[in-house]
Structure 1
Amino acid sequence: MDVLTSESGNDNVVPYGVDWSDRARPSSHCWFPLTSDDSSTAQSCAYGSCAKRKQAGQSALLQCGSCDLIMHAYHLTSSSTTNNDSIQSCRPSFVDNIEQINSLTNNKDNSLKFDEHFWSHVSTLPKPCMHCQPTSMVSPLDIIDQMKWMISCIPRTLSDDWSDPSHGLVCLWCFRCYHHSCWEQLAPQDKLQCDYGIFQNIIVRPQWLSRSSESPTGFKARPFSYSTNSNAEPNSFPYTPVLVFVNKRSGGQVGEKIYRELLQRLNPRQVFLLENNATITHALDIYSSLPNMRICVCGGDGTVGWVLSRLAETYPSRNNPPVSICPLGTGNDLSRVLAWGEQYDPTRLFHTLLQTSQAQVAVLDRWEVQLEEYDAATLASMTQQHHESGFNISRIFQPLLNPPTFIRETNRSSYENHQKLPNTRFINYMSFGLDAAIALDFHAERIRDPSKFSSPLKNKFMYVNESCKYFDDFARAQMWNLGSYIRLICDDQDITDTIRNCHTLVILNIPGYASGTNPWGKSLRSSIMDRVNQLSTIKLDSTFINQISMSSLDALNCAGDTQENNELESLDDRDTDQIESLSTTQTASSSRFQPQNFGDRKIEVVGLSTTHMAAIHAGFRGNRIAQCNRLCIELRCPMTAQMDGEPFYLPTPVAVNISHAGQVLVLKNEKK
């Protein structure tokens, strides 16, 4: 949390953002510098006696992220103003007097004392007055766009002239609005009591949060109405409060905008801008006692994995607050699998929050990765066994063949700053080989020049551009394979022979990889019939069809089956009966594979040829190799790899040991 210090030399400081210090008051503002592109710059300073109210551009202005109040910075650091009541209070976000709460817990009539409206004056009502012109019966989600407009209409001062009949009041909790004259006609209870509007089920109410000397953070959340019953079950608590973690670095500047927007919609103390591990620990410490708590992570797969790792370290297995996702990353594979969307849609931000409270809880496996370095004797022994492990025509001509670029060139610039594991756990996938090499070059270029990656279309263009650097490896695909550089052991069985035709090895925990593909594939019947429907409704271009490997249609191969045929075969002359016949045969031959499940403590191993790497983006799949509980990938040479979309380079031969590392709870969106 940054602070603004007084220019006059006194001890007054103004904290930027949400203030968790000892100086914080229940009605403290969340100050941020007012940006030049903010539509509210036309508003003047809200300090009543400000001499420069109409000269906002001549002095630094700050804006409250919760109530939108605008003030000159020097008013907030001046002793003459901070010691009086001339600065309007913000919405209360917590209660300072825990004794006051305790005195009310036994009085049912006072249970709603803190659930009060926070009225703010507006010059124009953003929607029909609730008293004289009721709105039509609509879904709560339909008024979200009106809420956005409503916030933008809220002025920064209460000193306006209310003679205009269009002037009115808006509650900054529930967003109900009234003409000023209509509001005067309301019953006293209606003027006070607030139900928090459409967010009533997920919002953290101020009276639930108070100071606590027992907490390292100085705050603790516990709803007093629930705590009166010592035998109460969590399910008896009628609300599902949602904490929100936002990575401001995800999605360009989108993360910062989402953070500021949610400060206005929710209690600002339930929205956290991810800075480091301490931010997550801080939030969990405060809200660990809040029943039915759920978490929404606004970020990419890496951010989600980061938060889940901290949850796994804090809570016992399968006992953490379940997590939903607002996707801000590039691939967003976990978000796709859990049906939260493939990319950020600003019109669905509030839908995501509301659906978080209703989503189905699911169990997600986590996998641990440990690197084991070889000594010289072990490495020599492995090499000897490799040469004696059977006949392969590529070995005979190995001295005449060059290894692939990512193995041959060990000093590539993209390798320099990415030579360690990005994490020791993964939840989506790991991969080794050609795809990781391309991803690493793409990642390094994005770090060097972010301006080239400002849109999804530019990202795709840059990915193709980086792929072209490996044209020679694609062209010589029949002359090299990962089986020459990797030894694969699944559940103590050496199955290296199954990757003799593979150029990428993928270790899958979820049915999602590389921005929405499914290398393991669906069940055979649905996969084949989906393809039949496409063939019957779309006239396929013959050039595209001739690029599809027959092995991609061969949807269910077992480890140990005959090596798949990598020759290209046209599908345009196959009728429905032929494809359905193929379906029946393949299902019977691979019955030992179970349907993929990201919570079954098993992991899937898939091999991709260069043909597969293109075909999976057209809905086909790779070569299924194994389902196992643990595996060891022995790298005989330096190798490119990626973990949950984070590419890296292993500069020395190592054994990569992957084993189950517990489970965490996530949320699957059943109401897309």
Structure 2
Amino acid sequence: MFASLQSHAACFLSVRTECTLGRLRCMLLHPTCIRLNTRNFSKMHCYRITESCSHELDFLDVDVDPSAASKDGHPAAAESGKQFLKVFDGDDAVKRGCFRLVSILRATKNEEVVEAALRMFFLPDEPHDFELHEIGGMQRLHSDDILNRNGGPDNRGSLKDAGDSWLLRAKARDAEVIQVHAGWPRSGPASVSVSVSQSSTAASVLNEVLSQLHRQGDESSKFSLMEVNMSSKQVQRSSLSPQENMLEKLQEIKKVSLRQMNQTRFYVVENVNRTVKVGLLIGGLPPLLAKEEYVQLIQEHLTIKSHLVSISHIYASQGAVALQVSCFSEAERIFMLAKDTAVDNKLLSSLVIPEILHTQLSQDVCPLLVFVNPKSGGLKGRELLYNFRKILNPHQVFDMSNGGPLAGLHTFRDVPRFRVLVCGGDGTVGWVLGVLEAVRHKLVCREPPIGIVPLGTGNDLARVFRWGPGYSGEDPHHILVSVDEADEVLMDRWTILLDAQDVSEDGKDNEFLEPPKIVQMNNYFGLGIDAELSLDFHQAREDDPDKFTSRFHNKGVYVKVGLQKISSSRSLHKELRLQVDNQEVHLPNIEGLIFLNIPSWGSGADLWGSEVDGRHGKPRIDDGLLEIVGVTGVVHMGQVQSGLRSGIRIAQGNYVRLTVSKPLPVQVDGEPWIQPPGHIIISAAGPKVRMLRKSKQKQKKSSAGVKEGRPESPSSRDGGH
């Protein structure tokens, strides 16, 4: 494992040399538990990266423009009494022209210059183990030399020949001590120290390591020594031949780049003759087909070779199939071909799926599966995606715009325990919950608890579970700690059957009726004025999506739409017939009817209200009951949003039947449309879902208004406690 750490000089001695991952240990997917057979697949393909990598800068290599250095640095040096040296850390840096500017005083001893250069390259070694060579003449700078203001030693004679480019070299040593890490999970220290001399070979080092790891009974031929170099752009692995001289190998790496040596580790790994097995997930196929039809489509459009390719999983509800390919070239061909293939005028998608070795996961490990919607919250979603890929294993972080939730759930299908973190709005959370419900029978962990990082506009679901009204740039590490400490609670989900029927007396338009459809509801279901405002807002966003990048602008548009509807009125109670638990319910004079599953509506408003009455029970998110509330118009809705009033309580129940006599705007969790006349049935949807509620003691104190704080009060349904 590689990890970076910054500490005070006084604290450095107390820092453990081996990274234990701290609070992230139990939620991180350990690299040894991942198998990914790739050959020509790029990092972009392996990590399912679609966004621009322009922000993936190489922070370790700083290419300094010599003209800029002379223009900006030397005048300042003349005024301040300082001078700047161009220092290279190896032959590779000289070849590429990458150097660091080291600032020193006019008269500085060599050891002080070396120490300054080591600091500039973030190398933790002792200065007496290094020396400087002038580039060009390669004159060595001795320890008793003093640099003059022109960058050359005072004992050189003429100052006009002095150079300012120097090469930092490690002094040759007769012996070195290296750390060799075990390539498998183990208790106790993860690495051992081995002394390397001029006669040491990779085979002798391997035998010494196996002895210290108490594996001396195993044949050394079953193991090999691997060199792993991690740069900021890629990780390179190479096995060392048994006869390779280790001291010469170390000196060669140091000569190429001192930083590369600092980023190089040695591992002892078991030699396993693995069969080629590349996992691909092909999406974009027509949904709800039979297995034979999917096989035919794959064969017809991708011309797969049956002796090399097999279908391991079929997700008919998602229109996707998982392939196992036993040939690298065939996998690469299918991967690229699928991206250019359309079925029923819809382009297919293809993803490389890693294999999680679930049997190697520790008993106390519960890895976190992270979904990020980069289109939510402006650029904040993209920023979170990038940060979580750096903190966690990139194979446990999934871009929702590239394969949706299925890619992550399919990858984690055999993991016995895991948690889910969804970064997005309520619609994104509902998307994940919907796919989870559809494929849970194929998962070993069928009910993973779900946490939320709110990136949307309303974020009502996140408010109820204390994750806040929106993401405001919190440290991703703090978010992960909060997820680790969150409490598990249950939440109801509801199935809504919308069956369009001609309920008029003449029944002339039966042949044009829409087929019945089923949708899932997590937050609320609205008919009338509430849905009409959502529909107008949705259409405005569809017309110009680039303007809808902030919650402030979105709320402004919503208010504008509401003001346009303030004078309109409709007698909704005359167009609806409501039955709750098989009992007819009289509707008052209202313009909107809303069915609540959670105590937050319209960006944090408490529509049901906190007042206790004798006719209705105290609402909970896991009580199996819906709260049915009416609003009289836009003004009433504005008063509810301001906390001045509550809605009109109508009923509570777990089975609702509506008869609609005219086309009406409806919305489910913020997704609006016009629903034709017919019947609407709402009932409980399968098992309750497990959600993660942020621990109260970890909540940050804020000056949020009563409106945003009310759904999180003890009197609301935040988990029923």
TM-score (norm 1): 0.53
2-side partners of 1:117 and 1:241: how far apart? 28
- Equivalent residue, structure 2, for 1:509: 597
Whether 1:336 and 2:425 are equivalent positions in the alignment is: no
Whether 1:455 and 2:550 are equivalent positions in the alignment is: yes
Q: Which AA in structure 2 matches 1:515?
A: S
In structure 2, relative to structure 1, the CA distance for the partners of 1:37 and 1:108 (3 Å cut) is closer
2-side partners of 1:159 and 1:506: how far apart? 71
Deviations 1:279-316 (A, max 9, x none): 43332233233233101011111111111111112226
Q: Which AA in structure 2 matches 1:445?
A: A
8 Å contact 1:237–1:292 — kept in the other structure?
A: no
8 Å contact 2:37–2:278 — kept in the other structure?
A: no
Whether 1:371 and 2:498 are equivalent positions in the alignment is: yes
Superposed CA RMSD in Å reads: 4.5
8 Å contact 1:312–1:320 — kept in the other structure?
A: no
Match of 1:247 among 366, 373, 387: 373
2-side partners of 1:429 and 1:36: how far apart? 40
Once the two structures are overlaid, the 10-residue window that deviates more, 355-364 or 41-50, is 41-50
Q: State the shift of 1:44 in Å.
A: 6.0
Deviations 1:224-247 (A, max 9, x none): 455xxxxxxxxx821221010111
Once the two structures are superposed, the pairs formed by residues 226-237 of structure 1 within 5 Å of their partners are 237=363
8 Å contact 2:499–2:516 — kept in the other structure?
A: no
Match of 2:415 among 264, 268, 290: 290
Q: Which AA in structure 1 matches 2:421?
A: C
Q: State the shift of 1:622 in Å.
A: 0.9
In structure 2, relative to structure 1, the CA distance for the partners of 1:604 and 1:376 (3 Å cut) is closer
2-side partners of 1:20 and 1:482: how far apart? 58
8 Å contact 2:358–2:415 — kept in the other structure?
A: yes
Q: What SS does the corresponding residue of 1:252 show, helix, strand or coil?
A: coil
User: Which structure has the higher relative contact order (CA within 8 Å, separation 6+)?
Assistant: 1
2-side partners of 1:332 and 1:645: how far apart? 10
In structure 2, relative to structure 1, the CA distance for the partners of 1:515 and 1:379 (3 Å cut) is farther
Q: State the shift of 1:20 in Å.
A: 6.4
8 Å contact 1:511–1:520 — kept in the other structure?
A: yes
In structure 2, relative to structure 1, the CA distance for the partners of 1:325 and 1:422 (3 Å cut) is farther
Q: Which AA in structure 1 matches 2:593?
A: L
Once the two structures are superposed, the pairs formed by residues 196-345 of structure 1 within 5 Å of their partners are 216=322, 219-225=354-360, 237-275=363-401, 279-315=404-440, 319-345=446-472
Q: What SS does the corresponding residue of 1:499 show, helix, strand or coil?
A: coil
Q: What SS does the corresponding residue of 1:315 show, helix, strand or coil?
A: helix
Once the two structures are superposed, the pairs formed by residues 51-90 of structure 1 within 5 Å of their partners are none
Q: Which structure dedicates a bigger proportion of its chain to helix? A: 1
2-side partners of 1:47 and 1:510: how far apart? 62
Q: What SS does the corresponding residue of 2:565 show, helix, strand or coil?
A: helix
Match of 1:609 among 632, 635, 651: 632
Whether 1:442 and 2:537 are equivalent positions in the alignment is: yes
- Equivalent residue, structure 1, for 2:584: 494
1-side partners of 2:690 and 2:544: how far apart? 37
1-side partners of 2:520 and 2:616: how far apart? 25
Q: What SS does the corresponding residue of 1:437 show, helix, strand or coil?
A: helix
Q: Which AA in structure 1 matches 2:357?
A: R
In structure 2, relative to structure 1, the CA distance for the partners of 1:615 and 1:119 (3 Å cut) is farther
8 Å contact 2:448–2:690 — kept in the other structure?
A: yes
Q: Which AA in structure 1 matches 2:664?
A: M
8 Å contact 1:355–1:669 — kept in the other structure?
A: yes
8 Å contact 2:371–2:423 — kept in the other structure?
A: yes
Q: Which AA in structure 1 matches 2:473?
A: P
In structure 2, relative to structure 1, the CA distance for the partners of 1:365 and 1:47 (3 Å cut) is farther
Provide structure 1 residue ranges, at least 5 long, that are not aligned to the other structure: 1-17, 56-91, 96-106, 123-156, 172-187, 194-209, 227-235, 382-418, 525-586
8 Å contact 1:121–1:168 — kept in the other structure?
A: no
In structure 2, relative to structure 1, the CA distance for the partners of 1:512 and 1:24 (3 Å cut) is farther
2-side partners of 1:519 and 1:472: how far apart? 22
Q: State the shift of 1:354 in Å.
A: 2.4
Q: What SS does the corresponding residue of 1:347 show, helix, strand or coil?
A: coil
8 Å contact 2:367–2:419 — kept in the other structure?
A: yes
Once the two structures are superposed, the pairs formed by residues 267-666 of structure 1 within 5 Å of their partners are 267-275=393-401, 279-315=404-440, 319-375=446-502, 424-473=519-568, 480-495=570-585, 497-500=586-589, 502-522=590-610, 524=611, 587=612, 590-610=613-633, 611-619=635-643, 620-650=645-675, 652-662=676-686, 663-666=688-691
2-side partners of 1:350 and 1:613: how far apart? 38
How many pairs are equivalent? 414
Deviations 1:511-550 (A, max 9, x none): 111111111122x3xxxxxxxxxxxxxxxxxxxxxxxxxx
8 Å contact 1:605–1:624 — kept in the other structure?
A: yes
Q: State the shift of 1:43 in Å.
A: 4.8
8 Å contact 1:217–1:282 — kept in the other structure?
A: no
Provide structure 2 residue ranges, at least 5 long, that are not aligned to the other structure: 1-33, 65-88, 99-180, 185-211, 216-222, 233-252, 269-276, 280-309, 314-321, 325-353, 509-513, 700-721
2-side partners of 1:597 and 1:169: how far apart? 56
Q: What SS does the corresponding residue of 2:485 show, helix, strand or coil?
A: coil
Q: Which AA in structure 2 matches 1:510?
A: I
Q: What SS does the corresponding residue of 2:560 show, helix, strand or coil?
A: helix
Deviations 1:319-366 (A, max 9, x none): 411111111111111011011121112224332222223321111211
Q: State the shift of 1:646 in Å.
A: 1.2
Once the two structures are superposed, the pairs formed by residues 92-171 of structure 1 within 5 Å of their partners are 162=258
1-side partners of 2:668 and 2:621: how far apart? 16
Q: Which structure dedicates a bigger proportion of its chain to strand? A: 2
Q: State the shift of 1:644 in Å.
A: 0.5
8 Å contact 1:222–1:287 — kept in the other structure?
A: no
1-side partners of 2:521 and 2:255: how far apart? 55
Q: State the shift of 1:423 in Å.
A: 6.5
In structure 2, relative to structure 1, the CA distance for the partners of 1:422 and 1:352 (3 Å cut) is farther
Deviations 1:551-575 (A, max 9, x none): xxxxxxxxxxxxxxxxxxxxxxxxx
2-side partners of 1:238 and 1:612: how far apart? 51
- Equivalent residue, structure 1, for 2:247: none
1-side partners of 2:96 and 2:463: how far apart? 49
- Equivalent residue, structure 2, for 1:669: 694
Q: State the shift of 1:26 in Å.
A: 12
8 Å contact 2:398–2:407 — kept in the other structure?
A: no
In structure 2, relative to structure 1, the CA distance for the partners of 1:648 and 1:421 (3 Å cut) is farther
Q: State the shift of 1:118 in Å.
A: 7.5
TM-score (norm 2): 0.50
Q: Which AA in structure 2 matches 1:647?
A: P
Q: State the shift of 1:21 in Å.
A: 6.8
Q: Which has the larger radius of gyration?
A: 2
